[in-house]
Amino acid sequence: MRKLLLIPLTLFIGLVVFLAVGLQRDPHQIPSPLIGKPAPAFDLPTLVEGQRFSPESYKGQVWLLNVWATWCVSCREEHPVLVAFSKANAVPVVGLGYKEVQSQEPEYALPDDQKLAFARAREQRYLTRNGNPYQVSVLDMDGRVGIEYGVYGVPETYLIDKQGVIRYKHVGPVTTAILNEVILPQVRQWGGA
Amino acid sequence: MMRANASWRVAVLAALWVGALWGMTGARAESAQPLAENPVVERRLVAIAEDLRCLVCQNESLASSRADLANDLRREVRGLIVQGKTDTEIKDYLVARYGDFVLYRPPVKGSTVLLWFGPFALLGLAVVVLVWVLRQRARATPAQAPGLSEGQRQRLDQLLKD
Amino acid sequence: MVAELGHLALIVAAVLAALLAVVSGWGVWRRQWTWMAMARPFTALMWVSLAVSFACLAYAFLTNDFSVQYVAQHSNTLLPKPYQFAAIWGGHEGSLLLWIFLLATWMLAVAVFSRSLPQIMVSRVLVTLGWVSLGFLMFILITSSPFERLMPAPNEGRDLNPLLQDPGLVIHPPMLYMGYVGTAVAFAFALAALLAGRLDAAWARWSRPWTVSAWAFLTLGIGLGSWWAYYELGWGGWWFWDPVENASLQPWLVLTALIHSLSVTEKRGGFKAWTVLLAIAGFSLSLLGTFLVRSGVLTSVHAFASDPTRGVFILMFLAIVVGVSLTIFALKAPQVMTGSPFALVSRESMLLANSVFQVVATLVVMLGTLYPLVMDALNLGKLSVGPPYFNLVFVPMMVPVLFLLVPGVVARWREANVPELARELWPLALVSLAVGLALPAFMGAWAWTAALGFTLGAWVGLSSLLHMVQRLRKPGRISGSFWGQHLAHFGLAVVVVGITGVQHYQVERDVRMGIGDTVEIAPYTFRLAGVSKVPGPNYEAVEGRFEVIKNGRVTEVLRTQKRKYFSSAMPMTEAGIDSNFWRDLYVSMGDPLPGNTAQWAMRVYYKPFVPWLWMGALIMTLAGALAALDRRYRRESNRVAPQAAATAQA
């Protein structure tokens, strides 16, 4: 009979252990199911008129895909970090401009070609003013490509290997520490510069 | 004759005036159209979206969230419904991109066996333990109450019923 | 100045809590009358300092003192005065101050209303609560003081979240917290009994009014929260199985189980260990809820801004309080475990069964709420457990409870006469079944879950009604306890019918409407009569005015607004609701639509039986109040006390 009385205490201790571990986790961080899977294909316009880009063309290299937008505050934080990184390393970074024109802006009602031109101009201005870390910059105007990649909050950064397989995803702004300690080693691991 | 003409003219003018007003205000009360393009699709969207999580919200379903990403995801789901995909296919589509986290109804797999069968196992266990404990207690019951008179027995009956 | 005074008052309160815990605690341990008896004065003084502290924070809010960081974060000069006051509990720090102030209030109530209890018992209870208070006050002082200064002071505060600017905010958290904090009193009584090594009918009689009061407040708090979400969020939902909602449901279920278990302990001296365990569990769940809301461990719309340090502190507090109590339980429970035996089928066994089922329901809710956390902790990935899961598993848990409720009320103590029970109850069973099967057909679409819900609702509701009616026919005073029992069961039945009705038979129309357009949900027609701009104290609104037409006549006018608060980018919807006994008509204003004619997206709902949800909750609260105020508890305690006092000295 006496041992039965210890059950509540034992169960409670177990609970506390789980809660303690839980405290160290971030419930907002969602792991990506795309790790280890081929990067979804897309064909999007770039900042240069008439030019388009597809991840196919980067097969054979290890590269980073950075999802960002000029309206995103955290992206502004990571931008100088990315600029510095792109200067110091040979890893190509592709920028994916995610829904550059937002639904609450008046420009949202423009026809597609004008909207695209507007987005191009705005991103171009931003990159000229703040530095351009991207080898190529593509525009995902309606966010569909973002959904393919499981984007749920900008900025997000993907590491894609020579076979075009996603190997790592970082959600939130990258810092110098994360780039040097986490991402660069992985780049090397997958055969990059 | 003049008066008849005048009243006729007034009547025509009045009719025109009323007609103009009517036309301006669009006052013909209409039965409101459903907001959605296709209400059947919309109904299915709501049913599916209630089982899905808005990923950028603090615990809200895809059906009720007003967030931008939620609008986009609803648009995707609507597109998939129109393409004729089944509910399972649509959910798989989202899980492939966002993981199990996007489902409010957790999938039944190895790691969730405890979650889905736990409640019923617990209920069953509770019944078993309950019956066992009660049987133990019942065994300790004295077979007869010590001798009571009929009047006392009746009072006992009444007390036990209160 | 005032903020510093408030902070000082908190420190004084902490010192008094420490004195209560240590000095009076020592007095209890060593049976030293003087130190023991100081428990009451310490409690009273602690209450006074906390009242001063609370008043200081209120003053800071009402005078728009934005040099106090907490005020700057949660208030605004344009905020109407009642909300400026209610903003005290709009954030983490202030709500904790409310928590501890209410705890002190309960403690004061125990100190004042326990004249007839033996001194050592009262002291044990107050000392236990003193330790709990001390923990909370340390937490507040170290990590979460609402009196931090913000220099330089801004000219304007950030404003209270528009969602919270509502009468519901003024009353829901205080009522809910009264309930949460009340579980501590039941807990303290249980620990006091364990430490005394004795648990008798007298003890059960003393702790019952406190437990029932806590339960009543919790019922009211949860009901208010549900109602508030319903009319405030604009889409008519009333329960989302959000972790914080679950955190309030769990102690409620356990308190319900505790009340029933206590009645057996009081009348038959049985279930003592179980009763004590439930009392400990009730408060533990209350603390667990505090942890979940404030530590950032789970995602919730209710969560306060999280801080890992706070989470660690609360977890340690939780671990110590509950760990120590459960250890005391394991060591001392055998001493108190005595009880008269009873048969497999008897009132005792039915009460125990329902008590157990309620605990199972609690565990099931806990399983669903904590599972994502457990999975993450084990590195098994991130999972979401939401309403589809809870709705599916919770209902089966409650079915046996509702079923057993009726025979449980009439069964004999010690050994039930099953044939007699069957004979008494079969007419009621038949009527309930008839109602349950017919009502869905009458309402529109037949669904077996609706039939089940209505049957059980009728089963419990009619039975309680019959008991009350039959008793009213007999002469003599009816005790508060009697009303409490049957009204509470009746209230529960009303809630069950309400939930069944609205879940199955709600009609929603999502439409585009111009002025003069109509939507029909038989037998009502909703006509958009006009849309206008309406200014508010700290917002600007667009208001839609609806005419509700029934049988060709306009019966109601509903107004719904979409508000743009000056301080927030998020627009808020205020729904227009018309309630009568049987149903709610609910309209929700949407965005203007592009196009040539002026049109707006509107949502129109017909919600049958939804008012029964709130009515049921109110009935249950009233029942709890009547039961707690039962004069028998106050009178009989007087009789028993001298004997208990004599033995307590031993």
Asked if residue B50 is part of any domain, the answer here is yes
Q: Give the mean model confidence (pLDDT) for residues C315-339.
A: 90
Residue of C354, C403, C263 lying closest to B127 (CA atoms): C354
* Residues C117 and C239 placed together within one structural domain of the fold: no
Residue-wise pLDDT for C457-494, tens only, equals 999 999 999 999 999 999 988 888 899 999 999 999 99
Nearest residue of C to residue A33 by CA position?
A: C381
Q: Which of these three, C355, C384, C408, is where a domain ends? A: C355
Please check the confidence at residue C645 and state whether its pLDDT lies above 60: no
Nearest residue of A to residue C291 by CA position?
A: A19
The ipTM, to two decimals, is: 0.87
Asked if residue C448 is part of any domain, the answer here is no
Asked if residue C12 is part of any domain, the answer here is yes
Residue-wise pLDDT for B24-77, tens only, equals 444 456 787 888 778 889 889 999 999 999 988 888 899 888 888 998 999 999
Residues 136-155 of B with CB under 8 A from C: 137-138, 140-142
Q: Give the mean model confidence (pLDDT) for residues C85-112.
A: 94
CA distance A3 to chain B (A): 16
* Residues B59 and B80 placed together within one structural domain of the fold: yes
Nearest residue of C to residue B157 by CA position?
A: C412
Nearest by CB to A18, which of C295, C327, C374? C374
* Residues C129 and C207 placed together within one structural domain of the fold: no
Question: Which pLDDT belongs to residue B160?
Answer: 66
* Residues C118 and C189 placed together within one structural domain of the fold: no
Please check the confidence at residue C419 and state whether its pLDDT lies above 60: yes
* Residues C16 and C111 placed together within one structural domain of the fold: yes
Asked if residue C541 is part of any domain, the answer here is yes
Collect all residues of chain A within an 8 Å Cβ-Cβ radius of residue B99: 30-33, 150
Cα separation, C241 vs C250, in Å, equals 11
Q: Give the mean model confidence (pLDDT) for residues C568-586.
A: 88
Percentage with pLDDT > 90 across chain C: 66
Cα separation, A114 vs A120, in Å, equals 10
Q: What is the dihedral of CA B99, A35, A46, A185, to 10 degrees?
A: 140
* Residues C324 and C223 placed together within one structural domain of the fold: yes
- Which domains occur in chain A, in start order? 35-189 (3.40.30.10)
Collect all residues of chain C within an 8 Å Cβ-Cβ radius of residue B112: 371, 383
Collect all residues of chain B within an 8 Å Cβ-Cβ radius of residue C367: 114-115, 118-119, 122
Please check the confidence at residue C92 and state whether its pLDDT lies above 80: yes
Q: What is the CATH number of the domain that holds B86?
A: 1.10.8.640
Q: Give the mean model confidence (pLDDT) for residues C320-347.
A: 87
Residue-wise pLDDT for A57-112, tens only, equals 999 999 999 999 999 999 999 999 999 999 988 899 999 999 999 887 888 888 98
Please report, as a single letter, which amino acid is at residue A94.
V
**Residue B33: Cβ within 10 Å count:** 15
* Residues B78 and B43 placed together within one structural domain of the fold: yes
Asked if residue C123 lies in contact with residue C41, where contact means CB atoms within 8 angstroms, the answer is no
Cα separation, A22 vs A16, in Å, equals 9
Please check the confidence at residue A30 and state whether its pLDDT lies above 90: no
Asked if residue C384 is part of any domain, the answer here is no
Mean per-residue pLDDT of chain C: 90
Please check the confidence at residue C304 and state whether its pLDDT lies above 90: no
Asked if residue B123 is part of any domain, the answer here is yes
Collect all residues of chain B within an 8 Å Cβ-Cβ radius of residue C389: 104-106, 115
Under 8 Å CB pairs connecting chains A and B tally to: 39
Q: Do A30 and B95 touch (CB under 8 A)?
A: no
Residue-wise pLDDT for C252-261, tens only, equals 999 999 999 9
Please check the confidence at residue C49 and state whether its pLDDT lies above 80: yes
* Residues C156 and C48 placed together within one structural domain of the fold: yes
Residue-wise pLDDT for C500-529, tens only, equals 999 999 998 888 899 989 998 978 999 999
* Residues C199 and C314 placed together within one structural domain of the fold: yes
Asked if residue C235 is part of any domain, the answer here is yes
What is the extent of the structural domain holding B93?
39-102
Please report, as a single letter, which amino acid is at residue C425.
L
* Residues C250 and C128 placed together within one structural domain of the fold: no
CA distance C149 to chain A (A): 28
Nearest by CB to B101, which of A30, A143, A147? A30
Nearest residue of B to residue A153 by CA position?
A: B56
Write out the H or E segment, with its range, that includes residue C560.
Answer: strand C553-565
Asked if residue C531 is part of any domain, the answer here is yes
Q: Give the mean model confidence (pLDDT) for residues A35-41.
A: 94
What is the extent of the structural domain holding C341?
166-355
CA distance B86 to chain A (A): 19
Question: Which pLDDT belongs to residue C387?
Answer: 94
Asked if residue B161 is part of any domain, the answer here is no
Going by pLDDT thresholds of 50, 70 and 90, the confidence category of residue C351 is very high
* Residues C211 and C111 placed together within one structural domain of the fold: no
Asked if residue B61 is part of any domain, the answer here is yes
Going by pLDDT thresholds of 50, 70 and 90, the confidence category of residue C394 is very high
Asked if residue C472 is part of any domain, the answer here is no
* Residues C175 and C249 placed together within one structural domain of the fold: yes
Q: Do A22 and C297 touch (CB under 8 A)?
A: yes
Residue of C232, C344, C397, C417 to mutate for B, most B C-beta atoms under 10 A: C344
Asked if residue B149 is part of any domain, the answer here is no
What is the distance between the terminal CA atoms of chain B, rounded to a whole angstrom? 98
* Residues B123 and B70 placed together within one structural domain of the fold: no
Please check the confidence at residue C639 and state whether its pLDDT lies above 50: no
Question: Which pLDDT belongs to residue B18?
Answer: 54
Q: Do C374 and A5 touch (CB under 8 A)?
A: no
CA B54 to each of CA A142, A152, B44, C239, C306: distance values in angstroms, whole numbers, following the listed order:
18, 10, 17, 17, 20
Cα separation, C449 vs C576, in Å, equals 30
* Residues C170 and C157 placed together within one structural domain of the fold: no
More confident residue, C456 or B147: C456
Asked if residue C563 lies in contact with residue C575, where contact means CB atoms within 8 angstroms, the answer is no
Going by pLDDT thresholds of 50, 70 and 90, the confidence category of residue C296 is confident
* Residues C320 and C215 placed together within one structural domain of the fold: yes
Asked if residue C69 is part of any domain, the answer here is yes
Most confident of C215-229, C532-546, C619-633, C634-648: C215-229
Chain A touched by C515 (CB under 8 Å) = no
* Residues B97 and B116 placed together within one structural domain of the fold: no
Q: Which chains touch C (3 or more CB pairs under 8 A)?
A: A, B
Question: Which pLDDT belongs to residue C634?
Answer: 63
Q: Which of these three, C100, C132, C161, is where a domain ends? A: C161
Nearest residue of C to residue B133 by CA position?
A: C344
Question: Which pLDDT belongs to residue B27?
Answer: 45
Residue with tokens 């031993």: C650
Chain B touched by A74 (CB under 8 Å) = no
Cα separation, B154 vs B151, in Å, equals 5
Please check the confidence at residue C642 and state whether its pLDDT lies above 50: no
Nearest residue of B to residue C573 by CA position?
A: B66
Write out the H or E segment, with its range, that includes residue C260.
Answer: helix C243-268
Pairing, β A136-140 against β A93-98: parallel
Residue of C282, C301, C266, C276 lying closest to C218 (CA atoms): C282
Please check the confidence at residue C580 and state whether its pLDDT lies above 70: yes
**Total domain count for chain B?**
2
Question: Which pLDDT belongs to residue C223?
Answer: 95
Chain C touched by B109 (CB under 8 Å) = no
Question: Which pLDDT belongs to residue C643?
Answer: 46
Question: Which pLDDT belongs to residue B13?
Answer: 61
Going by pLDDT thresholds of 50, 70 and 90, the confidence category of residue C166 is confident
More confident residue, C90 or C618: C618
* Residues B113 and B88 placed together within one structural domain of the fold: no
**Total domain count for chain C?**
3
ω into residue C523 within 30 of 0, thus cis? yes
Q: Which of these three, C146, C161, C176, is where a domain ends? A: C161
Residue-wise pLDDT for C421-440, tens only, equals 899 899 999 999 999 999 99
Asked if residue B58 is part of any domain, the answer here is yes
